[in-house]
Structure 1
Amino acid sequence: MKKLKQNQYFGIILLLVMLVAFWAIFKLLAPATFGSPDKLATYMKSALIYAVGGCGLYFICVMGPFDMSVGANIVLSSIIACNASVRFGYLGLIIAPILCGTLIGLINGLVYIKLHISSLIVTVALSLIYEALSVYATNGKNVILDIGFRAFGDYPANLILAVFAYLLCAFILKYTKVGTYTYAIGSNEVIAKNMGVNVPKYKVVAFTLAGLFFGLQAILTISFGTSMTSASNLSSMSRNFTPLMGTFFGLAFKKYGHPVIAIVIGEMIIQLMFNGFVALGAPTTIQNVVTGAALLLIVALTTKPVKGAVVK
């Protein structure tokens, strides 16, 4: 067992066992309303979307900060994607939210670095601005994506875009200087700085990369949901936590070397839990209970980071 735990694939195996176990439990409890192939395909659509955002958040959270503007970013980027698709078709649907999300990420990073205050305070305050822009962009009305531009809301286009995002995240983390420095800063920021790493620069890069992934998530979100309503009074904040749970799965299992896979499987587990309770007849608000409990559990698993790791 000790040798098995040291295997780099142990974390993935454990997550897959958890995934199958949750499916089996809810299937036994609600055989008629849970877990059919069609329903599983729908659950996985949501998991694919949230996992893209979870990959983006990973760049930030592995360093220590948080981004609480994820929901506001996705709302505004989705609205811009919808509006751009009217004028430029699929080109606008793809490029506009990526540019919007990346720009928001860059702004978040620059403001966080320049003001030298908590990332939570910075991103919550900026969320109010992004929400105001979403209201301005829609005049407070609901925007609907034209039926001719909804390919990314279903298989295989959504799967292709999501897998592209996962592979991009994995490549950056494993094969680029950005990934190396991201882990170095997260391991010990002081040592990384003494080694010559430009910590402020790479924190801005992390926020910018996160914004890019939120733009990709926005494409999937508006295509799957087909409509988006502007947000105000931090109502977009509820969109933050499901991607964040996937990120925490990645943090908890990153010691096995496959954080992106952990994020994806983690989001699948969360979706099974959400829909399992709904299938049992529990009110939809049970999702908030599951979200809170899962966050507490996963955070408890990630509160003992390894300090001072050597980065080669």
Structure 2
Amino acid sequence: MDARTQNISKKKMSSTVKGYLILCLMIFVSWLVFKLLTPDNFGTMDNMLSYFQASLIASAGAVGFYLVIVMGMFDFSIGAAIILASIIGCKLAATGYGYLGLLGGCLLTGAIIGACNGFFYVKLRIPSMIITTGLALIYESLANMIAGGAAQTLPADLRLFGQMPGNLILALLTFFAAYAILNYTKIGTYTYAIGSNEFIAKNIGIDVDRYKFLAFLISGIFFGIMSVLTISYGSSMVAVTGMASMSRNFIPTMGCFFGLAFKKYGIPIQAIVLGEFMINIIFYGFVALGAPTAIQDVITGFALLIIVALTTKTVRSAIVK
């Protein structure tokens, strides 16, 4: 290895360490603030483990959604996809198919939803936020029809992925898969190329439409995994209409903002996972304080936007193609 290569390697390692240090400091400060404000009912080791387990759910979806958002696209159908996939997986599991029905139903539904999002976005040439908003209404209606207006409850003997170690194992496999896709496949390489400059990507022969479709498809599969964790952790799911599912979009999206912010440090997947953990610390901190839900949402949103803004000069996730 020549001197130049060694210097590049050292700079990259130094940048990565800096990214981890910033993330750990942010998590510690978030914990410390709420621990000082409410020392009796926040931030114990058991509490932190509970916060971490809750963060695994959104992280599983966010690491897949990162493929979409890093290209400058968006998805407003996340919540509707989670609800529809959870309901289908739950019904299949409860009707005799067990874990095969739960996993297969959630992942296949997520893949179909992702494929639909990608297909209509590529073919209609309409901004992704508009396409996915319209499709979200359809997914909500389908979930409501399938559920028949009743809450779907996962049988108690099929909740392996709602607690340790099942949820941790599934989440880790998901994170490793996302990391491998981004760093060791053509899809990851072309995703970054398109996100950096779509015009140049086209000129060097990359089939942009194909990889945008694949990004939505893969993202949908990861949301299917998130659905498995969601229904296993919460045990039941209720269908909603009128875009009420939009509230489920927030946390996975904020996790992706962390991924974008820390991409320059070479740790987007790790930043998403740790960022989601921090989001949960802040959320449960407000719960411990007894703050009203509306105040929690406003303060959490502003706090996270400020944090992300401070860690990156340019967050291009707001660009919607």
Band of TM-score, shorter chain: over 0.9
**What does residue 27 of structure 1 align with?**
35
Higher alpha-carbon deviation: 150-159 or 27-36? 27-36
Q: Does 1:205 align with 2:210?
A: no
**Residues 232-282 of structure 1: per-residue CA shift (max 9 Å, x gap):** 000000000100000000000011111110000000111111111111221
Query: Pick from 47, 50, 54: which aligns with 1:46?
Result: 54
Gaps of 5+ in 1: 307-312
Q: Is 2:64 the partner of 1:56?
A: yes
Q: Which moved more, 1:65-74 or 1:294-303?
A: 294-303
The answer as to whether partners of 1:187 and 1:305 remain within 8 angstroms in 2 is: no
Alignment partner for residue 85 of structure 1, among 72, 93, 112? 93
Q: CA deviation at 1:285?
A: 2.6
For residue 154 of structure 1, what is the aligned residue in structure 2? 163
Per the alignment, do residues 5 and 166 of structure 1 end up closer, same or farther by CA in structure 2, a change over 3 Å counting? closer
Query: 1:8 aligned to 2:25?
Result: no
Distance, in Å, in 1 between the alignment partners of 2:14 and 2:169 is 32
Structure 1 residue 122: Cα displacement: 0.1
- 1:1-312 residue pairs with structure 2 within 5 A? 7-86=15-94, 87-294=96-303, 296-297=305-306, 300=309, 304=314
Q: 1:71 touches 1:237 (CA, 8 Å); kept in 2?
A: yes
Higher helix share: 2
Q: Deviations over 1:275-310 (max 9, x none)?
A: 11111221233331134314533664557269xxxx
In the alignment, structure 2 segments of 5+ residues that lack a partner are: 1-10, 317-321
Letter in 1 for 2:179: A
Partner SS, residue 304 of structure 1: coil
Aligned to 1:310: none
- Seen in structure 2, the aligned counterparts of structure 1 residues 34 and 4 have a Cα distance that, compared at 3 Å, is farther
Residues 76 and 133 in structure 1, CA contact (< 8 A), matched pair in contact too: yes
Structure 1's 5 and 169: CA in aligned 2 closer, same or farther, altered over 3 A?
closer
Check whether the contact 2:261–2:315 (CA below 8 A) recurs between aligned residues: no
Q: Deviations over 1:22-67 (max 9, x none)?
A: 1122112111110112221211111110111111110000000001
Q: What code does the residue aligned with 1:118 have?
A: P
Q: 3-state DSSP class of the match of 2:33?
A: helix
Contact 2:282/2:300 (8 A) holds in 1: no
Deviations 1:200-253 (A, max 9, x none): 000000000000000000000000000000010000000001000000000000
Paired residues, number: 304
Counterparts of 2:295 and 2:60, CA distance in 1: 24
Distance of 2:16 and 2:271 partners within structure 1: 12
Query: TM-score normalised to the size of structure 2?
Result: 0.91
Conservation of the 8 A alpha-carbon contact between 2:260 and 2:315? no
Partner of 1:64, secondary structure, is: coil
Question: 2:16 is paired with a residue of what secondary structure?
Answer: coil
- Matches of 1:152 and 1:5 in 2, distance apart? 35
Identity of aligned residues (%): 50
Stretches of 4+ aligned residues off by more than 6 angstroms: none
8 A contact 1:249–1:298 mirrored in 2 = no
Whether the 8 Å contact between 1:22 and 1:269 is mirrored in structure 2 is yes
Bigger mean CA offset, 119-128 vs 9-18: 9-18
**8 Å Cα contact 1:60-1:66 kept in structure 2:** yes
Letter in 1 for 2:238: T
Say if 1:33 and 1:279, in contact at 8 Å, map to a contact too: yes
Please identify, of 47-56 and 183-192, the stretch whose mean Cα deviation from structure 2 is larger. 47-56
